[in-house]
Structure 1
Amino acid sequence: MTERPLLRVVRGTPDDAELAALTAVVAGLASAPSAEPAPQPRSAWGDPARLHRPPLRPGPGAWRASGLPR
């Protein structure tokens, strides 16, 4: 069983330096580690910080302030 060549010239007549440069680029890309996907942002529903409630502050208007977003 014969192995297939890594590169095959379809058109043109590249010289040895051009073939060497192309082979180096293709080999470098093939051995480069694959890029890891970016981590997905965590949903606010699963955020453990939501389990901690802020301290209550008594005083005038406290009932109104308790329902406002922080």
Structure 2
Amino acid sequence: MIRIVRGNPTPEELAAAVAVVQARVAAAAGAEATSRQARIPAWSDPARNVPRPLPAPAPGAWRTSYWPAGA
């Protein structure tokens, strides 16, 4: 909530002040999300634990059966 303590701003001045506050909040939220993603090491990312189908029996199937990359 924004409260005007002193003065009598025009609607344009008030809109400009609200836009600046909203931009700062959005920038802070974006920086927090980026830092949260940076704290999770890639090897412990839950998306890496998604089960894949087992490779079909074939001469090169052993290459696709190991966990990290699988391609």
TM range (shorter): 0.3 to 0.5
Q: Which has the larger radius of gyration?
A: 1
User: RCO (CA 8 Å, sep 6+): is it higher in 1 or 2?
Assistant: 1
Give TM-score scaled by structure 1 length. Answer: 0.41
- Greater helix proportion: 2
